[in-house]
Structure 1
Amino acid sequence: MLWGVTADSGRSADGAEPELQLVLCALDEPLAAAWHDIADSRAGLSVHQGSVLDLQVDAVVSPANSYGWMRGGIDAVYARAFPDVEEQVRSAVLAYHGGELPVGEALLVPTGAPNPIWLISAPTMREPGERLPADTVHPYLAARAVLRLLASAVLENGTPVRHVARSVAMPGLGTGIGGVTPELCARQVAAAWDEVFARVEQL
């Protein structure tokens, strides 16, 4: 079974702080430092310096390409850890989006493993191996798609995604072959978090 949601979905219903625990992962010190800059002042965010797969979480984020190929970077790590997940992602992209999942949208698929149970595919680039421009907003669009999926998507059985994916591990978005700097990635993820989960203080 496959599930999907687009980045055009609405924000969380009441604007309250999320129950979601988002773990921002980094293998290197520059990205870890950039993650700390945004996480230390936001409830629900934490930082892990090490592999995404070190963690016990409900879901992991795949900063994929629009076609669902998982042949490089962290996606290749996921494909080795979860042998059927690339086929799941590509099948979902075909079923829901005619073979191309645009940047700014996200899909949820099962990994086939007990931990993590889910993988969220959120493209940061259209083509595999694409180098992103210095002024790209793709990390923001990908992060917003992930967070909106977690906040408001519903599984086919009617269960809100937020009830089954309470803890999520996210690697850098576009910081590998995409060439996005750690600081730009972190700022854009923070902007997406604040947009989706901002508390409404006044009308």
Structure 2
Amino acid sequence: MTLVLCAVSEPLAEAWDAATGGRPDVSVHRGSVLDVPAQAVVSPANSLGWMRGGVDAVYAQAFPAVEQRVRSAVLAYHGGELPVGEALIVPTGVAAPEWLISAPTMRVPGERLPPDTVHPYLAARAVFRLWLEGTLEHGDPVRSVVQTIALPGMGTGIGGVSPQTCARQVIAAWDEVFGNRT
């Protein structure tokens, strides 16, 4: 499994570089998450599944039916609200990336997160647990179809989380789920 941490800003790229510490299955990409050859991309959306701002708006434009798929899955499997700390996976409707993992960093759209938030950690941990232990709707393990995940800055856009906080928390979640394999 490979994790590609994506940054469209240099401060986030530098924070990713500083946090990764030579972990062999984690790399940094300077540029759009959509430029990474990955089977899945991560949406740091909101608990309701609305994809109208930040990188989610980019996804909604690139994958026209994905917002409805996320919202339908949130309603069907989570009663209309996917809590921060949980994640789900839906098809994008395109060949690559084939999958989108929704892992909310905020409860409602446009929410500004407090400086001491742990939401990037909780969202990233949910992504990694889904990747390691989750199954697709037809029963196949997520890890059998997704070898590479492209992950943007979790909460660093609309949520206002600092790049350093995001990077530190994402790597802490990686280490918790997969162990520090440096």
> Which TM-score bucket, shorter chain as reference?
over 0.9
Partners of 1:157 and 1:183 in 2: CA distance: 38
Alpha-carbon offset, residue 158 of structure 1: 2.8
Provide the aligned C-alpha RMSD in A.
Answer: 1.2
Comparing 152-161 with 126-135, which one deviates more in the overlay? 152-161
2:38 matched residue in structure 1: 57
Q: State the one-letter code of the partner of 1:175.
A: T
Structure 2 stretches of 5 or more lacking a match?
Answer: none
Partners of 1:71 and 1:49 in 2: CA distance: 23
Is 1:21 the counterpart of 2:2 in the alignment? Answer: yes
TM-score by length of 1: 0.87
Is 1:105 the counterpart of 2:81 in the alignment? Answer: no
CA contact (8 A) 1:106 1:122 kept: yes
Q: State the one-letter code of the partner of 2:64.
A: P
Alpha-carbon offset, residue 39 of structure 1: 2.1
CA contact (8 A) 2:89 2:136 kept: no
Match of 1:79 among 52, 60, 64: 60
Partners of 1:157 and 1:97 in 2: CA distance: 18
Partners of 2:85 and 2:180 in 1: CA distance: 23
Q: SS state of the match for residue 105, structure 1?
A: coil
CA contact (8 A) 2:85 2:123 kept: yes
The structure with more helix, counted as a fraction of residues? 2
1:69 matched residue in structure 2: 50
Partners of 1:86 and 1:190 in 2: CA distance: 27
Partners of 2:159 and 2:43 in 1: CA distance: 14
Q: State the one-letter code of the partner of 2:43.
A: S
Q: Highest Rg: 1 or 2?
A: 1
Alignment of 1:99-178 (within 5 A): 99-178=80-159
Is 1:198 the counterpart of 2:148 in the alignment? Answer: no
Alpha-carbon offset, residue 199 of structure 1: 6.6
1:199 and 1:178, CA in 2 relative to 1: closer, same or farther beyond 3 A? Answer: closer
Number of aligned residues: 181
CA contact (8 A) 1:40 1:46 kept: no
Alignment of 1:36-47 (within 5 A): 36-47=17-28
Q: State the one-letter code of the partner of 1:145.
A: A
Partners of 1:130 and 1:81 in 2: CA distance: 24
Partners of 1:198 and 1:53 in 2: CA distance: 27
Q: State the one-letter code of the partner of 2:95.
A: P
1:177 and 1:199, CA in 2 relative to 1: closer, same or farther beyond 3 A? Answer: closer
1:92 matched residue in structure 2: 73
CA contact (8 A) 2:23 2:180 kept: no
Alpha-carbon offset, residue 112 of structure 1: 0.3
CA contact (8 A) 2:3 2:26 kept: yes
Comparing 123-132 with 36-45, which one deviates more in the overlay? 36-45
